[in-house]
Structure 1
Amino acid sequence: MDWDKLRIFHAVAEAGSFTRAGETLHLSQSAISRQISALEESLQVALFHRHARGLLLTEQGELLFQTAHEVFAKLAMTEAQLMDAHEKPSGELRVTATVGLGANWLTPRIREFIELYPEITVNLILADRELDLGMREADIAIRLRAPVQPDLIQRKLMTVNHHVYASPDYLKKHGTPACLEDVLESNLITYGEEAPTNLSNVNWLMKRLTAIGRTKEPVFKVNNVYGLLLAVQSGLGIASLPDYIVHGHTNVVRILPDVGGPTFDSYYVYPEELRKSKRVTIFRDFLIQKVAEYSF
């Protein structure tokens, strides 16, 4: 497989169009189109569905992109390590993330980063409100939506999905629901009125149940996703949780496999003036590699 064509394919898949990829690669749209067509011809498969609004990956294209994305993430990480062989980055790196994402997904992975870069101190600031990066309340933010603040650089990290979860103890006592109607009288755990404003339709499960006839109020409300997780683990009831927060927890099981909630993208965000910061770029590449190792 031609390495240069694979690099161009990866850029096009990330950008979603030949034009935007051309701006990144400093190549003309026609040159990129020729390279993609040549790659498709050599593989004898179509990698993109072409339509008026842009490009969509085919099933085969998605498979190739996932592999290429992981390879390029590892290469970027290796490149950072080689570059820092002569000049090790050091100092404090202030990272802000939501309580759920920061405590449950990010924190367990910090040890590996510190082992790679022992001269860097990570200061993780957990807050469900969005800190002002422009005012340097933090160097980096991991956001659950695209930033609206100007002069911020953003890089998509992962897509977050919501599903329905309960504890084995709760299911043993109350039975495992086979369909949404079976949840009508279940103990439901939801966000309270003070739920994070950066998430839309957080109580989607309650709304769907109300639409099909539920009249029972939730047994417990809490304004934090980590609180939801702990309540589910305790056997209190059923709740919608983002998939990333249950990763590694054996006492939480997914139920109703055909029922899904909101899906949204998370982003690695930092100010323009930190574009050339080694600490910022190597932490970004490290997280991209960690995301590639686990499918959400």
Structure 2
Amino acid sequence: MNTERLDWDTLRVFRVVAELCSMSGAAARLGESPPTISRKIDELETTLGAQLFTRSTRGVELTEAGKVVLRYAHQMAEAANSLKSEAGPQSTPVEGRIVISTGDGIGPYWLAPRMHDFQNKNPRVQIQMLVNDEPADVINGDADIALHFAEPKSHELLHHKLGVQHYIGFASRDYFRERKPPESLFEYYKHRCLMHSSYVNQVERWAPKVSELRRMIDYAFVSNSGTALIQSCAAGGGVAILPSFIAAIDDRIVPLDLPEIAPIQFWVAYTERFRRRPEGQMFVDWIRKRFEQEDAMWFREQFIHPRDVFSNVHIFPSVAASRREP
């Protein structure tokens, strides 16, 4: 491999071919001839020492090596755009509308309260948030950008891992006044458990030990609304399975002093078409940085229990005592 011969123009051509799955389509977009496009792809494959596309009468398709190169090419393009926007002269404020698709928890409860930060800097950009159990189809234009709880597989999508949601048990203080708190995850079955319907669909990605737990639990209340779940829990309805960050936004419910039930990774995904829009790259950069801030420690790989964040967090004494006895 002779990486010294790599140049940005060839990688730019490669990205367009990968997006359109067509040499002729890339030629039309870039204003070059199909033979020129084909020659540049051949040169890139020779330089890298790998076949990047399989060719057929229907067009071209990325190989596994091509997918790896595409990922790095996108990262290089994003870095170049970030450099241009931060180092270049200030231009006219961008305007437009961004449609973001999110799940019922992280969108309304985490992103929405922070969205004003982006809009203060971009007052002419309207944000429309779609809240659904499944991410909207950004390839077909149902949304511009979406959060996914499974890594996107389509090579038409640019995606980045944002973090991990750690699920733990919560309950109201009233619920445990006359009940003994669970002393392990496997005592959840003794309690009325509350569950979000989208979590039920994610169970196959939970840790193997939790699959057994799920079979033991007969959920007393299942809803597709995070608000309904939290309200039921706060009213003494039972033990709710919720992301750990909920401890930072609602003190009516209390985290159990037990390990996490499941860690679920999540990604942000969007198309090259959206990234090329002036407001698109700015929003992608903003959302990625939001999950790198200090207040986003809930989404790190390593689980952080709320008791280790808030000095005054209430935990159920009988549980804490039972876990800390020698």
What range describes the TM-score normalised by the shorter chain of this pair?
0.5 to 0.7
1:1-296 matched pairs, under 5 angstroms: 80=85, 83=88, 85-180=90-185, 182-191=187-196, 197=201, 200=204, 207-208=212-213, 217-257=218-258, 259-293=259-293, 294-296=296-298
**Structure 1 residue 168: deviation in Å?**
2.0
After TM superposition, the score normalised by the length of structure 1 is: 0.63
Q: Which runs of 5+ in 2 are unaligned?
A: 1-47, 49-80, 299-326
CA distance in 2 between partners of 1:173 and 1:88 (Å) = 58
CA contact (8 A) 1:128 1:196 kept: no
2:159 aligned counterpart, secondary structure: strand
Q: Is the 1:181–1:209 Cα contact (8 Å) retained in structure 2?
A: no
- Structure 1 residue 113: Cα displacement: 1.4
Q: Output the CA distance in 2 between the equivalents of 1:183 and 1:209.
A: 9
Structure-2 change in CA distance of 1:155 and 1:184 (3 Å): closer
Distance 1:246 1:199, change over 3 A: farther
Give the 3-state SS of the residue equivalent to 1:256 in structure 2.
Answer: coil
Structure 1 Cα separation of the partners of residues 83 and 169 of structure 2: 38
- List per-residue Cα deviations over 1:57-84 (Å, max 9, x = no partner): xxxxxxxxxxxxxxxxxxx989746657
Matched residues in 2 for 1:231 and 1:271: separation? 38
* Secondary structure of the structure 2 residue equivalent to 1:295: helix
SS in 2 for 1:249: coil
3-state DSSP of counterpart to 2:229: helix
1:244 deviation in Å? 3.3
Distance 1:138 1:183, change over 3 A: closer
| Structure 1: unaligned runs, 5 residues or longer | 1-27, 29-75
Structure-2 residue corresponding to 1:40: none
Tell me if structure 2 keeps the 8 A contact 1:165–1:241: yes
- Contact between 2:193 and 2:220, CA under 8 Å: does it hold in 1? yes
Q: Deviations over 1:80-133 (max 9, x none)?
A: 466573231111111111122211111111112111110111111111122111
Number of residue pairs aligned between Structure 1 and Structure 2: 216
Q: Higher relative CO (CA 8 A, sep ≥ 6), structure 1 or 2? A: 1
- Counterparts in 2 of 1:270 and 1:131: CA distance versus 1, 3 Å: same
Over 3 Å counting, the alpha-carbon distance change for 1:172 and 1:142 in structure 2 is same
Q: 2:171·2:239 contact (CA, 8 Å) conserved in 1?
A: yes
- Aligned mates of 2:241, 2:128 — CA distance in 1: 30
Identity of aligned residues (%): 19
Amino acid at match of 1:94: V
**Cα RMSD (Å):** 3.1
